[in-house]
Chain A
């Protein structure tokens, strides 16, 4: 563990040191470790082990002892701890394999782990330096950081990242799909009613524009019902659909000889 209690600043709000000395020895809470590498580094420091020459068997035993107190870690994290346990055991097995010649230094099976530990150790050390910076900066209020006092002001133009944009897009999509559900539940359009409406329009105006009519339809469902009705009217020869030219709008006319309209109704 890389944060010695003596160096933690006095304003520390949560205890970072994972261990407290008691007469019985060390009591360690697993949940204070950021992860398996953190735990390993702690053990290596505690046992005063040279990181470049780790006694894998001993450290594995210690490591597994801590894992046994796993009541305090949740399953997600447990997998990560177990992964490193498996890695330790794998390394040990590699070291036990009999070989014809001695391994060169760069072939040490421990190297993978050592490099990861060294890198992680650097990140941890950098963290303690960055934390010091954060502790100073956090006390210096800049105008930029000042949040509005009451509620959220939407008026301030802010630079949006791709992340912001995509998030608001998904929010919109969600809201839209909620709207959609409401529309479908809210209004029922029956074929019968629609048919009467269409015939009414045709009687009055003799003709209507296919596309215009659809655009006026409030919901997808209504548009679908209208479409079925028009097909039905054309089929039963009450109306005729005419298109002057390819890609032109389609006009629906009432047939002059539509005596069957009454019959149909």
Chain B
């Protein structure tokens, strides 16, 4: 299908630097039923995922976004003059996971979960905009309260916090580890 709607939707996603939500598209395309827009988006996602394209449309952060395909990472990095895209340190990822699952949390609560002072990890995550300060807790010392940010969803390719690995998935990992030990 090569409907005008699909081409319009593709243009809208193209100009968006952050995930374009269905609601935003609906607001622009007055009167077009949500189901039609959704169908056009789904088709675009399938089209761009196919071979023969360098970019793809991905569903992330609650909306849709253009991204390059993983296969071309090396060339893209060369263009951008980035030697190596830095992954989070284990301490950083651990801190982020603790916040993601227990939010809203304070620094003391995160440190208690990890058994390690997490102040500097929190600072790094703040600088990377993966977490944000949402207020202060009504507790002694009025400690700052942290949550994960929209950037966090984008960074891990999630559409919402409900897409974080579930209890079952985590239990499965632990089960596998146990099996590996036996």
Contact = CB atoms under 8 A, between A and B. Distances in A.
Contacts of A140: 56, 58, 67-70, 73, 157
A16 B94 CA distance: 13
**B contact residues, range:** 35 or more
Given A144-B18, A149-B81, A129 B170 contact: yes
A143 B15 CA distance: 9
B87 A119 contact: no
B177 A45 contact: yes
Contacts of A45: 177, 181
Given A127-B93, A163-B126, A139 B173 contact: no
Contact of B180 (A4, A127, A128, A142): A4
B73 A2 contact: no
B1 interface: no
A142 B14 CA distance: 11
Given A16-B90, A123-B94, A127-B90, A36 B155 contact: no
A4 B179 CA distance: 11
Interface string A1-26: 01010110000010010000000000
A84 interface: yes
Given A76-B117, A140-B67, A146-B80, A134 B154 contact: no
Contact of A84 (B18, B115, B173): B115
Interface string B161-182: 0001100011001101100111
Interface string B26-67: 000000000000000000000000000000101000000111
B88 interface: yes
A124 interface: yes
A130 to B, nearest CB: 6
Contacts of A52: none
A137 interface: yes
Contacts, number: 137
A130 B93 contact: yes
Contacts of B68: 140-141
Contact of A6 (B87, B100, B180): B180
Given A123-B114, A126-B165, A133-B158, A138 B170 contact: no
B169 A123 contact: no
A251 B165 CA distance: 75
A76 B170 CA distance: 31
B156 A34 contact: no
Given A134-B93, A162-B133, A4 B177 contact: yes
Contacts of A141: 67-68, 73, 76, 80
Contact of A138 (B17, B80, B87, B114): B87
B21 to A, nearest CB: 15
B132 A161 contact: yes
Contacts of A83: 115
12 contacts: A76-B117, A123-B101, A126-B101, A126-B170, A129-B165, A129-B169, A129-B170, A140-B68, A141-B80, A142-B67, A147-B80, A149-B81
Interface of A: 2, 4, 6-7, 13, 16, 34-38, 45, 48, 76-77, 80, 83-84, 116, 119-131, 133-144, 146-147, 149, 161-163
Interface of B: 17-18, 56, 58, 65-70, 73, 76, 80-82, 85, 87-88, 90-91, 93-94, 96-98, 100-101, 112-117, 126, 129, 132-133, 154-158, 164-165, 169-170, 173-174, 176-177, 180-182
